[in-house]
Structure 1
Protein backbone atom coordinates (compact mmCIF):
# COMPACT_ATOMS: atom_id res chain seq x y z
CA UNK A 1 0.00 0.00 0.00
CA UNK A 2 1.26 3.46 -0.92
CA UNK A 3 1.29 5.66 2.23
CA UNK A 4 -0.49 8.49 0.40
CA UNK A 5 -3.26 6.22 -0.93
CA UNK A 6 -6.08 4.33 0.77
CA UNK A 7 -5.99 1.89 -2.14
CA UNK A 8 -3.26 1.25 -4.70
CA UNK A 9 -2.80 -1.51 -7.29
CA UNK A 10 -0.47 -1.63 -10.28
CA UNK A 11 0.53 -4.15 -12.96
CA UNK A 12 3.75 -3.73 -14.94
CA UNK A 13 4.56 -5.03 -18.40
CA UNK A 14 7.78 -7.10 -18.09
CA UNK A 15 8.49 -6.78 -21.81
CA UNK A 16 7.30 -3.52 -23.50
CA UNK A 17 9.31 -4.28 -26.65
CA UNK A 18 7.06 -2.89 -29.40
CA UNK A 19 8.51 0.42 -30.68
CA UNK A 20 5.20 1.30 -32.32
CA UNK A 21 2.86 0.90 -29.34
CA UNK A 22 3.59 -0.59 -25.94
CA UNK A 23 1.76 -0.53 -22.62
CA UNK A 24 4.23 0.09 -19.79
CA UNK A 25 1.98 -0.31 -16.75
CA UNK A 26 -1.58 0.16 -15.57
CA UNK A 27 -3.03 0.77 -12.13
CA UNK A 28 -5.85 1.92 -9.90
CA UNK A 29 -5.69 4.13 -6.82
CA UNK A 30 -7.56 6.17 -4.22
CA UNK A 31 -5.25 9.03 -3.16
CA UNK A 32 -5.63 10.85 0.14
CA UNK A 33 -7.11 14.37 0.15
CA UNK A 34 -4.82 16.95 -1.49
CA UNK A 35 -2.38 14.28 -2.66
CA UNK A 36 -0.26 15.92 -5.37
CA UNK A 37 2.00 14.68 -8.16
CA UNK A 38 4.41 17.14 -9.79
CA UNK A 39 5.32 19.54 -11.10
CA UNK A 40 7.24 16.92 -13.08
CA UNK A 41 7.93 15.59 -16.56
CA UNK A 42 7.50 12.03 -17.84
CA UNK A 43 9.15 10.38 -20.84
CA UNK A 44 5.98 8.40 -21.62
CA UNK A 45 2.25 9.01 -22.08
CA UNK A 46 0.19 8.62 -18.90
CA UNK A 47 -3.61 8.58 -19.02
CA UNK A 48 -5.87 8.77 -15.94
CA UNK A 49 -9.63 8.26 -15.84
CA UNK A 50 -11.57 9.50 -12.81
CA UNK A 51 -14.01 6.89 -11.51
CA UNK A 52 -15.33 9.05 -8.67
CA UNK A 53 -14.42 12.17 -6.73
CA UNK A 54 -12.55 15.12 -8.20
CA UNK A 55 -9.26 16.99 -8.48
CA UNK A 56 -7.29 19.34 -10.71
CA UNK A 57 -4.88 18.65 -13.55
CA UNK A 58 -2.38 21.18 -14.91
CA UNK A 59 -0.38 20.94 -18.13
CA UNK A 60 0.70 23.38 -20.81
CA UNK A 61 -0.30 26.44 -18.77
CA UNK A 62 -3.87 25.13 -18.55
CA UNK A 63 -5.74 24.00 -15.45
CA UNK A 64 -8.56 21.47 -15.75
CA UNK A 65 -11.08 20.66 -13.03
CA UNK A 66 -11.64 16.91 -13.42
CA UNK A 67 -14.37 14.76 -11.91
CA UNK A 68 -16.21 11.48 -12.47
CA UNK A 69 -15.98 10.32 -16.08
CA UNK A 70 -13.13 12.67 -17.06
CA UNK A 71 -9.86 11.39 -18.51
CA UNK A 72 -6.68 13.48 -18.50
CA UNK A 73 -3.61 12.67 -20.57
CA UNK A 74 -0.03 13.58 -19.68
CA UNK A 75 2.28 13.92 -22.67
CA UNK A 76 5.99 13.08 -22.58
CA UNK A 77 8.16 16.14 -22.13
CA UNK A 78 5.26 18.29 -20.90
CA UNK A 79 5.43 19.81 -17.40
CA UNK A 80 2.40 18.65 -15.42
CA UNK A 81 0.91 18.35 -11.96
CA UNK A 82 -2.33 16.93 -10.58
CA UNK A 83 -3.92 17.21 -7.14
CA UNK A 84 -6.74 15.34 -5.40
CA UNK A 85 -9.58 17.42 -3.98
CA UNK A 86 -9.34 18.31 -0.30
CA UNK A 87 -12.81 17.00 0.58
CA UNK A 88 -13.75 14.54 -2.20
CA UNK A 89 -10.46 13.10 -3.47
CA UNK A 90 -10.65 11.24 -6.72
CA UNK A 91 -10.52 7.52 -7.30
CA UNK A 92 -8.83 6.91 -10.64
CA UNK A 93 -7.36 4.31 -12.95
CA UNK A 94 -4.36 4.89 -15.19
CA UNK A 95 -2.30 3.44 -18.02
CA UNK A 96 1.16 4.42 -19.26
CA UNK A 97 2.24 3.80 -22.83
CA UNK A 98 4.98 4.62 -25.28
CA UNK A 99 5.65 4.20 -28.99
CA UNK A 100 5.69 5.98 -32.32
CA UNK A 101 1.95 5.67 -32.91
CA UNK A 102 0.63 6.90 -29.55
CA UNK A 103 0.54 10.57 -30.51
CA UNK A 104 -1.30 9.75 -33.73
CA UNK A 105 -3.83 7.54 -31.92
CA UNK A 106 -4.55 10.29 -29.40
CA UNK A 107 -4.92 12.82 -32.20
CA UNK A 108 -7.46 10.54 -33.91
CA UNK A 109 -9.72 10.73 -30.86
CA UNK A 110 -9.37 14.51 -30.58
CA UNK A 111 -6.71 14.72 -27.86
CA UNK A 112 -3.62 16.94 -27.93
CA UNK A 113 -1.34 18.71 -25.43
CA UNK A 114 -3.60 21.74 -25.91
CA UNK A 115 -6.80 19.73 -25.29
CA UNK A 116 -5.70 17.01 -22.90
CA UNK A 117 -8.99 16.09 -21.19
CA UNK A 118 -11.85 13.93 -22.46
CA UNK A 119 -15.15 14.30 -20.60
CA UNK A 120 -18.40 12.39 -20.47
CA UNK A 121 -17.42 8.73 -20.34
CA UNK A 122 -19.26 6.19 -18.24
CA UNK A 123 -16.75 5.29 -15.50
CA UNK A 124 -18.12 1.76 -15.15
CA UNK A 125 -17.56 1.10 -18.85
CA UNK A 126 -14.08 2.63 -18.82
CA UNK A 127 -13.06 0.70 -15.72
CA UNK A 128 -13.79 -2.52 -17.61
CA UNK A 129 -10.99 -1.74 -20.11
CA UNK A 130 -8.50 -0.82 -17.41
CA UNK A 131 -9.23 -4.02 -15.50
CA UNK A 132 -8.47 -6.08 -18.57
CA UNK A 133 -5.27 -4.09 -19.12
CA UNK A 134 -4.03 -4.88 -15.61
CA UNK A 135 -5.05 -8.51 -15.92
CA UNK A 136 -2.84 -8.92 -19.00
CA UNK A 137 0.36 -8.84 -16.97
CA UNK A 138 0.04 -11.96 -14.85
CA UNK A 139 3.72 -12.91 -15.19
CA UNK A 140 3.11 -15.95 -17.41
CA UNK A 141 5.76 -17.70 -19.47
CA UNK A 142 4.63 -15.80 -22.56
CA UNK A 143 5.08 -12.04 -22.01
CA UNK A 144 4.96 -11.47 -25.78
CA UNK A 145 1.33 -12.61 -25.80
CA UNK A 146 0.54 -10.49 -22.74
CA UNK A 147 1.90 -7.44 -24.52
CA UNK A 148 -0.18 -8.13 -27.64
CA UNK A 149 -3.31 -8.43 -25.51
CA UNK A 150 -2.54 -5.21 -23.61
CA UNK A 151 -2.06 -3.29 -26.86
CA UNK A 152 -5.47 -4.50 -28.02
CA UNK A 153 -7.17 -3.39 -24.81
CA UNK A 154 -5.45 0.01 -25.00
CA UNK A 155 -6.77 0.52 -28.52
CA UNK A 156 -10.27 -0.42 -27.38
CA UNK A 157 -9.98 2.01 -24.48
CA UNK A 158 -8.95 4.82 -26.85
CA UNK A 159 -11.83 3.96 -29.14
CA UNK A 160 -14.27 4.25 -26.23
CA UNK A 161 -12.82 7.63 -25.26
CA UNK A 162 -13.09 8.83 -28.86
CA UNK A 163 -16.70 7.69 -29.10
CA UNK A 164 -17.81 10.42 -26.67
CA UNK A 165 -15.23 12.95 -27.80
CA UNK A 166 -16.49 13.35 -31.35
CA UNK A 167 -16.89 17.11 -31.04
CA UNK A 168 -13.10 17.39 -30.96
CA UNK A 169 -12.40 14.90 -33.76
CA UNK A 170 -11.55 16.46 -37.09
CA UNK A 171 -14.30 15.66 -39.56
CA UNK A 172 -14.09 15.62 -43.33
CA UNK A 173 -14.98 18.95 -44.96
CA UNK A 174 -18.70 19.50 -45.11
CA UNK A 175 -18.44 20.25 -48.84
CA UNK A 176 -17.67 16.58 -49.53
CA UNK A 177 -20.83 15.02 -50.90
CA UNK A 178 -22.19 11.60 -50.14
CA UNK A 179 -21.25 10.30 -53.58
CA UNK A 180 -17.68 11.61 -53.17
CA UNK A 181 -17.38 9.70 -49.92
CA UNK A 182 -18.74 6.61 -51.63
CA UNK A 183 -16.31 6.96 -54.53
CA UNK A 184 -13.51 7.11 -51.97
CA UNK A 185 -14.90 3.93 -50.41
CA UNK A 186 -15.04 2.28 -53.84
CA UNK A 187 -11.40 3.20 -54.48
CA UNK A 188 -10.32 1.75 -51.15
CA UNK A 189 -12.28 -1.42 -51.91
CA UNK A 190 -10.53 -1.86 -55.27
CA UNK A 191 -7.11 -1.13 -53.77
CA UNK A 192 -7.62 -3.80 -51.10
CA UNK A 193 -9.54 -6.44 -53.07
CA UNK A 194 -7.66 -6.39 -56.39
CA UNK A 195 -6.46 -9.96 -55.81
CA UNK A 196 -10.08 -11.19 -55.80
CA UNK A 197 -12.69 -11.56 -58.50
CA UNK A 198 -14.29 -8.12 -58.29
CA UNK A 199 -17.89 -7.51 -59.33
CA UNK A 200 -18.66 -3.85 -60.03
CA UNK A 201 -22.33 -4.75 -59.84
CA UNK A 202 -21.85 -6.06 -56.30
CA UNK A 203 -19.71 -3.06 -55.35
CA UNK A 204 -22.35 -0.61 -56.59
CA UNK A 205 -25.11 -2.48 -54.76
CA UNK A 206 -23.13 -2.52 -51.51
CA UNK A 207 -22.71 1.26 -51.75
CA UNK A 208 -26.40 1.79 -52.51
CA UNK A 209 -26.09 2.95 -56.13
CA UNK A 210 -27.04 1.62 -59.54
CA UNK A 211 -24.02 0.29 -61.44
CA UNK A 212 -24.44 2.79 -64.28
CA UNK A 213 -24.59 5.78 -61.93
CA UNK A 214 -21.61 4.63 -59.87
CA UNK A 215 -19.52 4.09 -63.01
CA UNK A 216 -20.45 7.54 -64.30
CA UNK A 217 -19.56 9.31 -61.05
CA UNK A 218 -16.41 7.20 -60.60
CA UNK A 219 -15.15 8.26 -64.02
CA UNK A 220 -15.96 11.91 -63.33
CA UNK A 221 -13.89 11.68 -60.16
CA UNK A 222 -10.92 9.61 -61.36
CA UNK A 223 -10.96 9.85 -65.16
CA UNK A 224 -11.31 6.07 -65.34
CA UNK A 225 -14.09 3.54 -65.10
CA UNK A 226 -13.97 1.25 -62.03
CA UNK A 227 -12.71 -1.66 -64.18
CA UNK A 228 -10.00 0.51 -65.76
CA UNK A 229 -8.95 1.68 -62.31
CA UNK A 230 -8.84 -1.93 -61.08
CA UNK A 231 -6.85 -2.98 -64.15
CA UNK A 232 -4.23 -0.29 -63.47
CA UNK A 233 -3.93 -1.35 -59.82
CA UNK A 234 -3.32 -4.94 -60.92
CA UNK A 235 -0.76 -4.03 -63.55
CA UNK A 236 1.17 -1.70 -61.23
CA UNK A 237 1.28 -4.41 -58.59
CA UNK A 238 2.38 -6.99 -61.17
CA UNK A 239 5.16 -4.66 -62.30
CA UNK A 240 6.34 -4.32 -58.72
CA UNK A 241 6.36 -8.09 -58.20
CA UNK A 242 8.28 -8.64 -61.43
CA UNK A 243 10.84 -6.06 -60.33
CA UNK A 244 11.32 -7.14 -56.73
CA UNK A 245 10.69 -10.90 -56.55
CA UNK A 246 11.67 -14.14 -58.26
CA UNK A 247 8.05 -15.30 -58.48
CA UNK A 248 7.00 -17.21 -61.58
CA UNK A 249 4.66 -15.56 -64.07
CA UNK A 250 1.89 -17.91 -62.88
CA UNK A 251 2.48 -16.78 -59.29
CA UNK A 252 2.50 -13.10 -60.25
CA UNK A 253 -0.72 -13.53 -62.22
CA UNK A 254 -2.44 -15.23 -59.30
CA UNK A 255 -1.19 -12.57 -56.89
CA UNK A 256 -2.87 -9.78 -58.85
CA UNK A 257 -6.22 -11.44 -59.47
CA UNK A 258 -5.73 -13.38 -62.73
CA UNK A 259 -6.56 -17.09 -62.75
CA UNK A 260 -5.20 -17.50 -66.28
CA UNK A 261 -1.48 -16.73 -66.61
CA UNK A 262 -1.68 -16.58 -70.41
CA UNK A 263 -4.48 -14.02 -70.30
CA UNK A 264 -2.53 -12.06 -67.70
CA UNK A 265 0.56 -12.05 -69.96
CA UNK A 266 -1.47 -10.73 -72.89
CA UNK A 267 -2.98 -7.98 -70.75
CA UNK A 268 0.39 -7.03 -69.27
CA UNK A 269 1.90 -6.87 -72.77
CA UNK A 270 -0.92 -4.62 -73.91
CA UNK A 271 -0.41 -2.36 -70.85
CA UNK A 272 3.41 -2.17 -70.76
CA UNK A 273 4.46 -2.97 -74.31
CA UNK A 274 6.38 -6.08 -73.19
CA UNK A 275 5.51 -9.58 -72.06
CA UNK A 276 6.07 -10.09 -68.32
CA UNK A 277 9.18 -12.28 -68.81
CA UNK A 278 10.68 -9.81 -71.27
CA UNK A 279 9.85 -6.90 -69.00
CA UNK A 280 11.69 -8.62 -66.12
CA UNK A 281 14.77 -9.32 -68.28
CA UNK A 282 14.85 -5.72 -69.46
CA UNK A 283 14.78 -4.50 -65.85
CA UNK A 284 17.61 -6.81 -64.83
CA UNK A 285 19.77 -5.74 -67.74
CA UNK A 286 19.58 -2.07 -66.80
Structure 2
Protein backbone atom coordinates (compact mmCIF):
# COMPACT_ATOMS: atom_id res chain seq x y z
CA UNK A 1 0.00 0.00 0.00
CA UNK A 2 1.21 3.52 -0.77
CA UNK A 3 -0.06 7.05 -0.21
CA UNK A 4 -0.17 9.70 -2.93
CA UNK A 5 -0.33 13.40 -2.02
CA UNK A 6 -3.92 13.60 -3.26
CA UNK A 7 -5.07 10.30 -1.72
CA UNK A 8 -5.55 9.01 1.81
CA UNK A 9 -5.42 5.46 0.46
CA UNK A 10 -3.90 4.23 -2.79
CA UNK A 11 -2.83 0.74 -3.80
CA UNK A 12 -2.37 -0.70 -7.29
CA UNK A 13 -1.41 -3.99 -8.91
CA UNK A 14 0.15 -3.99 -12.37
CA UNK A 15 -0.32 -6.95 -14.69
CA UNK A 16 3.25 -8.17 -15.39
CA UNK A 17 2.23 -9.93 -18.60
CA UNK A 18 -0.77 -8.28 -20.32
CA UNK A 19 -1.91 -9.31 -23.76
CA UNK A 20 -2.01 -13.08 -23.37
CA UNK A 21 -5.81 -13.38 -23.53
CA UNK A 22 -8.83 -11.80 -25.18
CA UNK A 23 -9.55 -9.91 -21.94
CA UNK A 24 -6.33 -8.01 -21.34
CA UNK A 25 -5.95 -6.41 -17.92
CA UNK A 26 -3.48 -3.55 -17.57
CA UNK A 27 -3.80 -2.82 -13.85
CA UNK A 28 -6.23 -2.81 -10.95
CA UNK A 29 -6.33 -0.76 -7.77
CA UNK A 30 -8.13 0.70 -4.80
CA UNK A 31 -8.11 4.28 -3.58
CA UNK A 32 -9.64 7.06 -1.53
CA UNK A 33 -8.84 10.50 -2.99
CA UNK A 34 -8.90 13.71 -0.99
CA UNK A 35 -12.00 15.96 -1.22
CA UNK A 36 -12.44 17.67 -4.60
CA UNK A 37 -9.74 15.49 -6.21
CA UNK A 38 -10.40 15.66 -9.96
CA UNK A 39 -9.25 13.84 -13.08
CA UNK A 40 -9.88 15.34 -16.52
CA UNK A 41 -11.41 16.30 -18.75
CA UNK A 42 -9.22 13.85 -20.69
CA UNK A 43 -9.45 10.87 -23.06
CA UNK A 44 -8.01 7.40 -22.42
CA UNK A 45 -7.05 4.83 -25.05
CA UNK A 46 -8.10 2.04 -22.69
CA UNK A 47 -11.20 1.18 -20.65
CA UNK A 48 -11.31 1.99 -16.93
CA UNK A 49 -14.02 0.62 -14.63
CA UNK A 50 -14.55 2.13 -11.15
CA UNK A 51 -16.87 0.71 -8.49
CA UNK A 52 -17.68 3.08 -5.62
CA UNK A 53 -17.60 1.40 -2.20
CA UNK A 54 -18.31 4.38 0.05
CA UNK A 55 -18.68 8.12 -0.32
CA UNK A 56 -19.70 9.93 -3.46
CA UNK A 57 -18.54 11.99 -6.42
CA UNK A 58 -19.39 13.23 -9.89
CA UNK A 59 -18.59 11.49 -13.17
CA UNK A 60 -19.01 13.33 -16.47
CA UNK A 61 -19.03 11.35 -19.72
CA UNK A 62 -19.85 12.54 -23.24
CA UNK A 63 -21.20 15.80 -21.86
CA UNK A 64 -23.56 14.27 -19.28
CA UNK A 65 -23.04 14.57 -15.52
CA UNK A 66 -23.69 11.53 -13.30
CA UNK A 67 -23.79 11.70 -9.50
CA UNK A 68 -22.34 8.46 -8.14
CA UNK A 69 -22.45 6.98 -4.65
CA UNK A 70 -21.75 3.64 -2.94
CA UNK A 71 -22.76 0.72 -5.17
CA UNK A 72 -22.40 2.63 -8.45
CA UNK A 73 -19.92 1.53 -11.12
CA UNK A 74 -18.89 4.12 -13.68
CA UNK A 75 -17.22 3.04 -16.88
CA UNK A 76 -14.70 5.12 -18.83
CA UNK A 77 -14.76 4.05 -22.48
CA UNK A 78 -11.78 4.32 -24.84
CA UNK A 79 -11.81 7.50 -26.93
CA UNK A 80 -14.63 9.15 -24.96
CA UNK A 81 -14.01 12.49 -23.19
CA UNK A 82 -14.57 12.20 -19.43
CA UNK A 83 -13.81 13.69 -16.04
CA UNK A 84 -14.56 12.70 -12.46
CA UNK A 85 -14.31 14.49 -9.13
CA UNK A 86 -14.57 13.38 -5.50
CA UNK A 87 -17.18 15.00 -3.28
CA UNK A 88 -15.93 17.94 -1.18
CA UNK A 89 -17.35 16.51 2.07
CA UNK A 90 -17.63 12.75 1.57
CA UNK A 91 -15.05 11.73 -1.07
CA UNK A 92 -15.56 8.35 -2.61
CA UNK A 93 -13.54 5.22 -1.97
CA UNK A 94 -13.42 2.96 -5.03
CA UNK A 95 -11.89 -0.05 -6.72
CA UNK A 96 -10.90 0.04 -10.37
CA UNK A 97 -9.62 -2.11 -13.20
CA UNK A 98 -8.16 -1.06 -16.56
CA UNK A 99 -8.61 -3.10 -19.75
CA UNK A 100 -6.90 -2.85 -23.11
CA UNK A 101 -8.95 -1.32 -25.90
CA UNK A 102 -9.15 -4.32 -28.24
CA UNK A 103 -12.75 -5.52 -28.36
CA UNK A 104 -13.67 -3.64 -25.18
CA UNK A 105 -16.34 -1.36 -26.64
CA UNK A 106 -18.20 -4.30 -28.20
CA UNK A 107 -18.01 -6.28 -24.96
CA UNK A 108 -19.32 -3.38 -22.89
CA UNK A 109 -22.08 -2.65 -25.41
CA UNK A 110 -23.20 -6.26 -24.96
CA UNK A 111 -23.32 -5.50 -21.22
CA UNK A 112 -25.58 -2.51 -21.89
CA UNK A 113 -22.82 0.05 -21.24
CA UNK A 114 -22.49 2.94 -23.71
CA UNK A 115 -21.32 6.58 -23.53
CA UNK A 116 -24.96 7.53 -22.99
CA UNK A 117 -25.40 4.94 -20.22
CA UNK A 118 -22.01 4.48 -18.47
CA UNK A 119 -23.34 3.72 -14.96
CA UNK A 120 -24.21 0.32 -13.45
CA UNK A 121 -26.17 0.48 -10.20
CA UNK A 122 -25.90 -1.95 -7.29
CA UNK A 123 -28.35 -1.52 -4.41
CA UNK A 124 -27.75 -4.72 -2.43
CA UNK A 125 -24.89 -4.81 0.10
CA UNK A 126 -24.26 -8.50 -0.55
CA UNK A 127 -23.86 -7.84 -4.28
CA UNK A 128 -21.44 -4.98 -3.62
CA UNK A 129 -19.42 -7.17 -1.23
CA UNK A 130 -19.16 -9.79 -3.96
CA UNK A 131 -17.78 -7.18 -6.37
CA UNK A 132 -15.24 -6.07 -3.74
CA UNK A 133 -13.99 -9.65 -3.34
CA UNK A 134 -13.56 -10.05 -7.09
CA UNK A 135 -11.55 -6.84 -7.32
CA UNK A 136 -9.43 -7.95 -4.37
CA UNK A 137 -8.61 -11.36 -5.84
CA UNK A 138 -7.96 -9.84 -9.24
CA UNK A 139 -5.50 -7.27 -7.87
CA UNK A 140 -3.66 -9.33 -5.25
CA UNK A 141 -2.55 -12.00 -7.70
CA UNK A 142 -0.07 -9.73 -9.48
CA UNK A 143 3.67 -10.02 -8.79
CA UNK A 144 3.23 -13.11 -6.66
CA UNK A 145 5.05 -15.70 -8.78
CA UNK A 146 7.95 -16.26 -11.16
CA UNK A 147 5.51 -16.95 -14.01
CA UNK A 148 3.79 -13.69 -15.06
CA UNK A 149 1.58 -15.37 -17.65
CA UNK A 150 -0.01 -17.44 -14.88
CA UNK A 151 -0.85 -14.23 -13.02
CA UNK A 152 -2.46 -12.89 -16.19
CA UNK A 153 -4.43 -16.11 -16.55
CA UNK A 154 -5.68 -15.92 -12.97
CA UNK A 155 -6.58 -12.24 -13.26
CA UNK A 156 -8.44 -12.89 -16.50
CA UNK A 157 -10.61 -15.43 -14.70
CA UNK A 158 -11.52 -13.00 -11.92
CA UNK A 159 -12.19 -10.28 -14.48
CA UNK A 160 -14.68 -12.51 -16.29
CA UNK A 161 -16.51 -13.12 -12.99
CA UNK A 162 -16.50 -9.38 -12.29
CA UNK A 163 -17.88 -8.51 -15.72
CA UNK A 164 -20.52 -11.21 -15.43
CA UNK A 165 -21.65 -9.81 -12.08
CA UNK A 166 -21.78 -6.26 -13.49
CA UNK A 167 -23.72 -7.45 -16.55
CA UNK A 168 -26.26 -9.21 -14.31
CA UNK A 169 -26.67 -6.03 -12.25
CA UNK A 170 -27.27 -4.18 -15.53
CA UNK A 171 -29.50 -6.84 -17.11
CA UNK A 172 -32.49 -4.53 -17.65
CA UNK A 173 -30.35 -2.63 -20.16
CA UNK A 174 -28.84 -5.63 -21.94
CA UNK A 175 -29.49 -5.68 -25.70
CA UNK A 176 -31.84 -8.22 -27.22
CA UNK A 177 -30.63 -11.77 -26.72
CA UNK A 178 -31.38 -15.17 -28.21
CA UNK A 179 -34.48 -15.25 -25.99
CA UNK A 180 -36.04 -12.80 -28.45
CA UNK A 181 -35.32 -15.05 -31.43
CA UNK A 182 -38.26 -17.11 -32.73
CA UNK A 183 -38.34 -20.62 -31.27
CA UNK A 184 -37.71 -22.33 -34.61
CA UNK A 185 -34.70 -20.16 -35.45
CA UNK A 186 -33.27 -20.67 -31.97
CA UNK A 187 -33.76 -24.42 -32.30
CA UNK A 188 -31.89 -24.47 -35.61
CA UNK A 189 -29.01 -22.48 -34.14
CA UNK A 190 -28.83 -24.82 -31.16
CA UNK A 191 -28.73 -27.83 -33.45
CA UNK A 192 -25.99 -26.31 -35.61
CA UNK A 193 -23.87 -25.48 -32.56
CA UNK A 194 -24.43 -28.91 -31.06
CA UNK A 195 -23.40 -30.69 -34.25
CA UNK A 196 -20.35 -28.43 -34.72
CA UNK A 197 -18.99 -29.50 -31.33
CA UNK A 198 -20.15 -33.13 -31.19
CA UNK A 199 -19.49 -34.23 -34.80
CA UNK A 200 -16.68 -36.59 -33.72
CA UNK A 201 -19.14 -38.67 -31.67
CA UNK A 202 -21.31 -41.51 -32.97
CA UNK A 203 -24.57 -39.57 -33.36
CA UNK A 204 -28.13 -40.35 -34.37
CA UNK A 205 -31.15 -38.13 -34.94
CA UNK A 206 -32.69 -39.62 -31.79
CA UNK A 207 -29.66 -38.57 -29.73
CA UNK A 208 -29.73 -35.05 -31.18
CA UNK A 209 -33.44 -34.64 -30.54
CA UNK A 210 -33.18 -35.92 -26.96
CA UNK A 211 -30.15 -33.74 -26.16
CA UNK A 212 -31.84 -30.62 -27.51
CA UNK A 213 -35.30 -31.35 -26.12
CA UNK A 214 -37.20 -31.84 -29.41
CA UNK A 215 -39.24 -34.63 -30.98
CA UNK A 216 -37.13 -36.15 -33.74
CA UNK A 217 -39.74 -35.46 -36.44
CA UNK A 218 -40.10 -31.82 -35.38
CA UNK A 219 -36.33 -31.33 -35.24
CA UNK A 220 -35.85 -32.79 -38.71
CA UNK A 221 -38.66 -30.74 -40.24
CA UNK A 222 -37.68 -27.33 -38.81
CA UNK A 223 -33.97 -27.89 -39.50
CA UNK A 224 -34.50 -28.83 -43.14
CA UNK A 225 -36.88 -25.91 -43.69
CA UNK A 226 -34.19 -23.45 -42.60
CA UNK A 227 -31.00 -25.08 -43.93
CA UNK A 228 -32.12 -27.23 -46.85
CA UNK A 229 -30.45 -30.21 -45.16
CA UNK A 230 -31.62 -32.76 -42.64
CA UNK A 231 -29.70 -32.80 -39.35
CA UNK A 232 -27.86 -35.95 -40.43
CA UNK A 233 -26.95 -34.41 -43.79
CA UNK A 234 -25.69 -31.34 -41.99
CA UNK A 235 -23.66 -33.57 -39.67
CA UNK A 236 -22.09 -35.26 -42.69
CA UNK A 237 -21.29 -31.88 -44.23
CA UNK A 238 -19.56 -30.73 -41.04
CA UNK A 239 -17.59 -33.98 -40.81
CA UNK A 240 -16.38 -33.72 -44.40
CA UNK A 241 -15.38 -30.06 -43.99
CA UNK A 242 -13.46 -30.92 -40.82
CA UNK A 243 -11.79 -33.82 -42.63
CA UNK A 244 -10.76 -31.54 -45.50
CA UNK A 245 -9.14 -29.14 -43.04
CA UNK A 246 -7.11 -32.03 -41.58
CA UNK A 247 -5.87 -33.24 -44.96
CA UNK A 248 -2.98 -30.74 -44.90
CA UNK A 249 -1.64 -32.42 -41.75
CA UNK A 250 0.61 -35.45 -41.46
CA UNK A 251 -2.21 -37.56 -40.02
CA UNK A 252 -3.12 -40.73 -41.88
CA UNK A 253 -6.47 -41.14 -43.63
CA UNK A 254 -7.54 -43.60 -40.95
CA UNK A 255 -6.63 -41.12 -38.18
CA UNK A 256 -8.51 -38.32 -39.92
CA UNK A 257 -11.57 -40.52 -40.40
CA UNK A 258 -11.60 -41.45 -36.73
CA UNK A 259 -11.14 -37.81 -35.69
CA UNK A 260 -14.27 -36.68 -37.52
CA UNK A 261 -16.57 -39.46 -36.34
CA UNK A 262 -16.04 -42.37 -38.78
CA UNK A 263 -15.16 -45.78 -37.31
CA UNK A 264 -15.09 -47.32 -40.78
CA UNK A 265 -12.40 -45.86 -43.06
CA UNK A 266 -14.04 -47.37 -46.16
CA UNK A 267 -17.36 -45.70 -45.36
CA UNK A 268 -15.50 -42.45 -44.74
CA UNK A 269 -13.82 -42.74 -48.14
CA UNK A 270 -17.17 -43.36 -49.83
CA UNK A 271 -18.82 -40.35 -48.19
CA UNK A 272 -15.80 -38.12 -48.80
CA UNK A 273 -15.87 -38.93 -52.51
CA UNK A 274 -19.63 -38.33 -52.62
CA UNK A 275 -19.20 -34.83 -51.18
CA UNK A 276 -15.94 -33.77 -52.87
CA UNK A 277 -15.66 -35.82 -56.03
CA UNK A 278 -12.35 -37.30 -54.86
CA UNK A 279 -11.22 -40.03 -52.52
CA UNK A 280 -9.43 -38.88 -49.36
CA UNK A 281 -6.09 -40.05 -50.80
CA UNK A 282 -6.67 -38.17 -54.05
CA UNK A 283 -7.65 -35.03 -52.17
CA UNK A 284 -4.63 -35.22 -49.87
CA UNK A 285 -2.31 -35.79 -52.85
CA UNK A 286 -3.78 -32.80 -54.69
CA UNK A 287 -3.04 -30.58 -51.69
CA UNK A 288 0.52 -31.85 -51.44
CA UNK A 289 1.06 -31.35 -55.18
CA UNK A 290 -0.30 -27.82 -55.01
CA UNK A 291 1.91 -27.06 -52.02
CA UNK A 292 5.03 -28.31 -53.81
CA UNK A 293 4.34 -26.02 -56.77
CA UNK A 294 4.38 -22.97 -54.54
Among 255, 258, 274, the alignment partner of 2:259 is 255
- Cα distance in structure 2, aligned partners of 1:203 and 1:54: 54
The root-mean-square deviation of aligned C-alpha atoms, in Å, is 2.0
Of 157, 180, 200, which aligns to 1:152? 157
| CA contact 2:36–2:86 (8 Å) conserved in 1 | yes
- The alpha carbon displacement at 1:226 in A equals 0.6
* 1:245 aligned onto 2:252: no
Is the Cα contact below 8 Å between 1:54 and 1:66 reproduced in 2? yes
Are the aligned partners of 2:78 and 2:101 in contact in 1 as well (CA < 8 Å)?
no
Give me the TM-score of the superposition, normalised by structure 1: 0.92
Deviation at 1:19, TM superposition (A): 6.9
After TM superposition, the runs of 4+ consecutive aligned structure 1 residues lying more than 3 A away are 172-175, 282-286
How many residue pairs get aligned? The number is 285
| Structure 2 equivalent of residue 95 of structure 1 | 97
How many angstroms apart in 2 are the aligned matches of 1:76 and 1:180?
35
Single out whichever of 186-195 and 276-285 deviates more from structure 2. Answer: 276-285
Corresponding position: 1:195 with 2:197: no
3-state DSSP of counterpart to 1:128: helix
| Residue in structure 2 matching 1:275, options 268, 274, 279 | 279
**Cα distance, 1:280 vs structure 2:** 2.5
Q: Secondary structure at the match of 1:279?
A: helix
Q: Secondary structure at the match of 2:261?
A: coil
Change (3 A) 1:32 1:252: same
What secondary structure sits across from 2:51 in the alignment? strand
The superposition leaves residues 175-195 of structure 1 with CA deviations (integer Å, 9 ceiling, x where unpaired) of 632232122111100011111
2:38 matched to 1:33?
no
Which of residues 220, 225, 231 is equivalent to 2:225? Answer: 220
* Cα distance per residue 1:83-113 (max 9 Å; x no partner): 1122222111001121523223212211123
Report if the CA contact (8 A) 1:19-1:99 is conserved: no
Gaps of 5+ in 1: none
- 1:21–1:99 Cα contact (<8 Å) kept: no
In the other structure, the counterpart of 1:104 is 106
1:170 aligns with 2:172: no
Number of the residue aligned with 2:60: 58
For residues 223-251 of structure 1, the C-alpha deviation after alignment (integer angstroms, 9 at most, x for no partner) is 11110110011112212222x32321112
In the TM superposition, residue 283 of structure 1 has moved relative to its aligned partner by: 4.1
Residue number among 238, 241, 248 corresponding to 1:236 in the alignment: 241
> What CA deviation, in whole Å up to 9, does each residue of 1:133-160 have, x standing for no partner?
1111133211110011111111111111
- For residues 169-211 of structure 1, the C-alpha deviation after alignment (integer angstroms, 9 at most, x for no partner) is 2114876322321221111000111112223222212322211
- Separation in structure 1 between the aligned mates of residue 21 and residue 180 of structure 2, nearest angstrom: 38
> Secondary structure in 1 aligned to 2:226?
helix
2:18 is matched with which residue?
A: 16
SS of 1:118's equivalent in the other structure is strand
